[in-house]
A and B are shown apart, each in its own frame.
Chain A
Amino acid sequence: MVDKIKKEWFSNIRADILAGIVVALALIPEAIAFSIIAGVDPMVGLYASFIIAVTISFVGGRPGMISAATGAMALVMAPLVREHGLDYLLIATILTGVIQILFGVLKIAKLMKFIPRAVMIGFVNALAILIFMAQVPHFVGISNLTYLFVAVTLLIIYVLPRFFKAIPAPLIAIISLTAIALYTNVELRTVGDLGVITQSLPEFFIPNVPFTFETLLIVLPFSIALAIVGLLESLLTASIVDDMTDTESDKNKESRGQGIANVITGFFGGMAGCAMIGQSVINVKSGGRGRLSTFVAGSFLMFLIIVLGELVIQIPMPVLVGVMIMVSIGTFDWSSFTYLKKAPRSDAIVMLVTVGIVVATNDLSKGVIAGVILSAIFFVSKISKLTVTRELRNAKDMYIVEGQLFFASTEDFLKSFDFNVENQEITIDFSNSHIWDDSAVGAVDRVILKFEEKNNAVKIIGLDNPSKEIFHKFTLKSNID
């Protein structure tokens, strides 16, 4: 136990602290931008990032992973904030946490394998598109100067790292362009125009909502969506960190940890969050491996806000927009284009439908659910292809069944026989087939009965053992062996 704590916390102290500081700097603009997407004050995202990161560093299942306020969650909660306000968001956040703790206890992480990769690819692409679209109102058609600042920000972010890597380029862009904007006194909207930054630690309070059944009905659909989206992104991120560090992690513990972090953040005025792909990759690349890196990221962020809060509100919006465009470019899966060409047609459709539904509804969870259902339908229709060929062998009728016989393929199966024959010996060969359920057995029974009506003798051959077992369990024809 002590050894484990030592290893997870203090085996990589120097690199963990440095990586945590880098992540904290990268977190600030994102936490502010995601607050704006959700429609709340920047403090709600900043408090959430502080509390979630610090909590998850103790209770999470994946050391070295960064969790905080995220775009995926902000997008889901935006309609709730618009219609009912911040207090309902906080209650929804607490409820999200409770649901995620349940997910962890019930070991829902295992179900992740039922989510096809086409849906996951669609999920990240839709997320990237939505983050980009959320930036559009903040820079399109405002002023030429706004376009200029966005362009210069992107230029700094993408070109500078080729020559100079010690300080993260987005931070350089933010500091230098904020300084230029302040010095030249240009007309640009700033973060301060969109909300207040309070230079104090978060405080515990109980959200001011009526504790009624009606309130539950309002927040529950949002909480379920948030819990699903949060778990999905967290488990994907955990798999990425697992692979980067070549280590294992406890996915159910991570789910419980996300839940605990969300419950706590809700009581301290923060919005629901989850693991962040981009930030976790930055952390690992910067050398962060242990729980200490996540802890430093959260606490250093809070320290910066308390010390530098006045400067943070001076950041021009177009600079923040530039940083968020970078985030959306980084989130998008650019290999999707080759995937669309190479993957089976049905997978490509599932991916596009997932993206389409998310973009249309602004809700990542709806896209994921639709994608999973669609790919299940594709799977069933693919696997239900069944062919029956008729052969004459020694002047006797022989039917050869190929494919899976179950509820979705019984209709094709029944249509394949010629029931007009009389007084024949008929054999049905199941060597290349498998019987899955009672409707399949019922279909076979019906074929036998129909043949027998016209005085034919039917013989079933080639059933494998599991098929035989299920056949004998459900059949009415006890004379078949």
Chain B
Amino acid sequence: MYNKLLLAVDGSENSLRATEEAVKIAHLCTECSIDVVFVADHSKTKSEVLHAQGKEELNYERRKKILPVESNLQENKISYTLYMLHGDPGSIIVEHANNESIDMVILGSRGLNALQEMVLGSVSHKVMKGAESPVLIVK
């Protein structure tokens, strides 16, 4: 069944809810593994580099965002691999899903309104369109 899941996280509340759902699905089969994908958004890099005192702090801050997700997976004894990638979140998630033959992509929706979506663009929409596998959007 769904043996290889991709869980896209950004450290937000929504990605924590997505993690809960991923845990449920992972429990359905015995040899399930999850690719946890965090994308450092290129559009935010300037501001993040500016606000961090050096490379180490920047990577630490990002890692800190995913810690709740990791501890949830560890508690539930689910095997996972963490990918810290860089680029446009939508495109990178799609690329990873299609290259790694993922069975299902799981991600949280940011719940933007129509105007925000026009300005910021919707990651979940992009993933839904681009990924070859089923996509579960958790709200």
Contacts and interface: CB of A to CB of B under 8 A. Distances in A.
Interface of A: 113, 116-117, 120-121, 124, 162, 236, 239-240, 242-246, 277, 281, 284-285, 333-335, 339
A121 B52 CA distance: 10
A377 to B, nearest CB: 19
Interface of B: 40, 42, 45-55, 58, 85-88, 118-119
Q: B-side binding surface: helix, strand, loop or mixed?
A: helix
A124 B50 CA distance: 9
B51 A117 contact: yes
A120 B51 CA distance: 9
A240 B49 contact: yes
A239 B49 contact: yes
B42 A333 contact: no
Given A281-B42, A284-B42, A243 B86 contact: yes
A121 B42 contact: no
A113 B53 CA distance: 8
Given A239-B55, A242-B55, A117 B42 contact: no
Given A284-B42, A285-B42, A243 B50 contact: no
B47 A335 contact: yes
Most buried by B among A116, A243, A244: A243
A281 B58 CA distance: 18
7 contacts: A117-B52, A243-B40, A243-B48, A243-B86, A245-B86, A281-B46, A339-B51
Given A162-B118, A284-B42, A285-B42, A243 B49 contact: yes
Contacts, number: 49
Contacts of A113: 53-54
A255 B48 CA distance: 23
A335 B48 CA distance: 9
B116 to A, nearest CB: 12
A333 B47 contact: yes
A117 B45 contact: no
A243 B58 CA distance: 9
A245 B45 CA distance: 10
A164 to B, nearest CB: 14
Contacts of A244: 42, 45, 86-87
A244 B46 CA distance: 9
B45 A246 contact: no
B50 A121 contact: yes
Nearest to B118: A162
Nearest to B52: A117
A120 B86 contact: no
A117 B55 contact: no
B58 A117 contact: no
Contacts of A285: 42, 88
A236 B45 CA distance: 11
Given A240-B45, A243-B49, A243-B86, 20 more contacts: A116-B53, A117-B51, A117-B52, A117-B53, A121-B51, A162-B118, A162-B119, A239-B49, A239-B55, A240-B49, A243-B40, A243-B48, A243-B55, A243-B58, A245-B86, A246-B85, A285-B42, A335-B47, A335-B51, A339-B51
Nearest to B57: A117
A59 B40 CA distance: 29
Nearest 10 pairs of A and B residues by beta carbon: A240-B49, A246-B86, A335-B47, A244-B45, A239-B49, A243-B45, A117-B53, A244-B42, A240-B45, A240-B46
